[in-house]
Structure 1
Amino acid sequence: MKLLQALTQTPSVPGREDRIRKVIQDYVTKQNLFDEITVDAMGSLIGVRRPRPEKGKASKKPIKVMLAAHMDQIGFLVRHIDEAGYLRLNPVGGFDARNLFARKVRVCTTQGDLPGIMNASGKPIHIASDAEKKKIPEVTEFFVDLGLTGDQVRNSVLIGDMVVLDGPFEEVGNSVVSQCLDNRVGCWALLKALEGLKHHNCEIYAVWTVQEEVGCRGAQGAAYGVHPDIGVACDTTLCCKTPGVPDEDRVSVAGDGVCLHVMDSSMISDIGLVAQFEAVAKANSIKCQRAILPRGGQDGAMIQRSRSGVRTIALACPVKYIHTVTEMTHKDDLESYHTLLTAWLESL
């Protein structure tokens, strides 16, 4: 789990993916996973792997498969520094304000990273009225305290510097817990799948995309450039088989394997590809499950709609408590994710 830990502990919000891109690029270069590596204009990392057939020569016109996993995590950009040095933030990605109280954060500056504390504006519990205690603030009402003077802060922090929630990576029971498993799990699964892939007849374009959390922006340009025959988005999904959620709203079940996203609000997966993945899973005794996410989207939508249209499917790892610093995913689901992706690529 060291690779996944390294990925989750590397801050990179939309538009600021350079750190995580370097981690991934260094890794794939060391493992010699690709024949060609490039970075496109928006910052997505693209690795090209030519066919490596087990027998005979490669086809002159192999199937072109685009595998996409977004590198960015939800976070903030500094939008204002007041006279006392408190930072006001602009979110990049979707947050539930109920999960932001009293959080440790990391403010990433050109001079180094600064630890800070995030809290909401307002009175502490000892002097707050009953009405004030019940109020849930807007995300924009939260601020960051760096424990420094106003001058010290202004000498270090710039408008547009990224801020991320700061939480550890831990193994808890049969699961792992960390910030930004969405979508460092998808990045990890793609890396592990390619590491396990020995022979394949297709031409693979593995793309670690940017700015998914603010509208799947990186995938749009990357898909146009790759012009694939098949697209596979590698992401995470809700796992709500937890107290307080009706069973019909669970979306997925922890430990039942990687999800084949039948649909979400951004796309409907190609049903032929869903059946293909299920057949490969059955033949190789790999756990998987179907899921529908009523709201939310992912990079597959941009791949599917690119040029004249692309057959596309989304794979997603079940994650509890998504978009918090305590995202949790089952180890069995992690294992099935990359194992199924490798087996499917070998089957083409």
Structure 2
Amino acid sequence: MSVDVALLKNICEAPGAPGFEKEIRDLVVKEIQGHVDEYSIDNMGNVIAIKKGVNNPEGKSVMVAAHMDEIGFLVSHIDDEGFIRFQTLGGFDPKTLTAQRVIIHGKKDIIGVMGSKPIHVMKAEERNKPAKIEDYFIDSGMSKEELEEWIEIGNPITRQRELIEMGECVNCKSIDNRVAVYILIEALKNIKAPAFDLYAVFTVQEEVGIRGANVAAHTINPDFGIALDTTIAYDLPGAQAHEKVTALGKGTAIKIMDAMTICDSRMVKYLKATAAKHEIPWQPEILAAGGTDTSGVQRMGKNGSIAGAISIPTRHLHQVIEMSHKKDIDDSVRLLVAALEDMNTASWEY
């Protein structure tokens, strides 16, 4: 199995700010048709695809979640000169906005650039202050009158950056979490016989509070859950060994905990054993800050679920230069497929 870079490129470059996931959702639906028994789109906009389990007399179910949304912005004001102010959708480090292009999605797409006060006219004390979100505005090169033919308050804005290959890595905006969307699509194409009824859920609005996964898990009430998301690869100059979380090229990651979830010890043990059985490289993930759909999958069903997560090591998270290693992506697909096919062979007793 090798990474389909062309498909990953399409997935990463498709726009889909939280609450505005239509374009990436349409792409997902196109890719999964013919590979699932049925699919539906719920009121939140989650895509819920089902593959029936084989020899599953007890009707056990497993939910796998990968969120479709990407961090983005919302038009909040257009001033008299045509400059756009915005509301963030998701978490941003303000300094990463400098010198970036964005796309404003209105009646037609408009390219803009993130602008701020030029350093040449800054006072000395201003130059040494950290950037703030409110220091930035979007310049489209158009007047207010021109803009308002196409753009209105409330339109979504996404970041503009194409996917490229760098060595054995891929680099793009929105690797978080489009790489997991890709992994779940590839798993649906490759899995032959899921042990339990598989609910593959492409969720919405994760970046603003795990909203789609909460609703989907409440609806499905799965017995088991696996979330797919990126995690920090802090394998960079200056990083101490205990700070790295994960490293690129060392295999997929099996989550033990993050700030929102302590993964079920049975699922952690099972994923480790599955990786060993199939000779899939893996690394443990303990993330002190941040959370993923794992929390919703684990807790929002009526009975809760035996939940864990497969994480994809990624450098430069929440920037437009996010980077993952193709081998880690491939290992993640392999582990997910094996885990779903072998799930009825494990003991789930405490």
TM range (shorter): over 0.9
Deviations, residues 79-105 of structure 1 (Å, cap 9, x unaligned): 011111110000000000111111111
Residue of structure 1 in register with 2:102 after alignment: 105
Match of 1:71 among 68, 71, 80: 68
Report the TM-score, using the length of structure 2 for normalisation.
Answer: 0.95
Q: Is 2:18 the counterpart of 1:2?
A: no
Residue of structure 1 in register with 2:323 after alignment: 328
Q: Is 2:60 the counterpart of 1:60?
A: no
Q: Is 2:334 the counterpart of 1:339?
A: yes
Report deviation, 1:228: 0.3
Question: Take 1:138 and 1:301, find their aligned partners in 2: how far apart are those partners?
Answer: 30
Q: Do the aligned partners of 2:36 and 2:188 also contact (CA within 8 Å) in 1?
A: no
Residue of structure 1 in register with 2:150 after alignment: 156
Q: Is 2:84 the counterpart of 1:90?
A: no
Report deviation, 1:141: 2.5
Deviations, residues 195-229 of structure 1 (Å, cap 9, x unaligned): 11112231000000000000001111100101100
Q: Is 2:114 the counterpart of 1:118?
A: yes
Q: Is 2:51 the counterpart of 1:22?
A: no
Report the 3-state secondary structure (helix = DSSP H, G, I; strand = E; otherwise coil) of the residue aligned with 1:188.
Answer: helix
Deviations, residues 284-308 of structure 1 (Å, cap 9, x unaligned): 1111111100000011101111223
Report the 3-state secondary structure (helix = DSSP H, G, I; strand = E; otherwise coil) of the residue aligned with 1:156.
Answer: coil
Q: Do the aligned partners of 1:90 and 1:140 also contact (CA within 8 Å) in 2?
A: no
Q: Do the aligned partners of 1:91 and 1:140 also contact (CA within 8 Å) in 2?
A: no
Report the 3-state secondary structure (helix = DSSP H, G, I; strand = E; otherwise coil) of the residue aligned with 1:225.
Answer: helix
Letter in 2 for 1:152: E
Question: Take 2:195 and 2:326, find their aligned partners in 1: how far apart are those partners?
Answer: 30
Question: Take 1:76 and 1:127, find their aligned partners in 2: how far apart are those partners?
Answer: 27
Report deviation, 1:61: 2.4
Deviations, residues 8-49 of structure 1 (Å, cap 9, x unaligned): 1101011001110000001111xx111111011111000011
Letter in 2 for 1:329: S
Report the 3-state secondary structure (helix = DSSP H, G, I; strand = E; otherwise coil) of the residue aligned with 1:126.
Answer: helix
Q: Do the aligned partners of 1:46 and 1:208 also contact (CA within 8 Å) in 2?
A: yes
Report the 3-state secondary structure (helix = DSSP H, G, I; strand = E; otherwise coil) of the residue aligned with 1:241.
Answer: coil
Report deviation, 1:125: 2.2
**CA RMSD, Structure 1 to Structure 2 (Å):** 1.0
Residue of structure 2 in register with 1:165 after alignment: 159
Question: Take 2:120 and 2:113, find their aligned partners in 1: how far apart are those partners?
Answer: 20
Residue of structure 2 in register with 1:246 after alignment: 240
Q: Across the two proteins, how many residue pairs are aligned to each other?
A: 338
Question: Take 1:308 and 1:138, find their aligned partners in 2: how far apart are those partners?
Answer: 43
Report deviation, 1:246: 2.0
Q: Is 2:307 the counterpart of 1:312?
A: yes
Q: Do the aligned partners of 1:104 and 1:117 also contact (CA within 8 Å) in 2?
A: yes
Report deviation, 1:244: 2.7
Residue of structure 1 in register with 2:209 after alignment: 215
Question: Take 2:108 and 2:240, find their aligned partners in 1: how far apart are those partners?
Answer: 45
Report the 3-state secondary structure (helix = DSSP H, G, I; strand = E; otherwise coil) of the residue aligned with 1:254.
Answer: coil
Which ranges of structure 2 fall in alignment gaps of 5 or more residues?
344-350
Query: For residues 178 and 256 of structure 1, do their structure 2 counterparts lie closer, same or farther at Cα, with a shift above 3 Å needed?
Result: same
Deviations, residues 212-271 of structure 1 (Å, cap 9, x unaligned): 000001111100101100010010100001013222111101111111110000001111
Letter in 1 for 2:115: N
Report deviation, 1:332: 1.0
Question: Take 2:222 and 2:213, find their aligned partners in 1: how far apart are those partners?
Answer: 12
Which ranges of structure 1 fall in alignment gaps of 5 or more residues?
none
Report the TM-score, using the length of structure 1 for normalisation.
Answer: 0.95
Report deviation, 1:142: 1.2
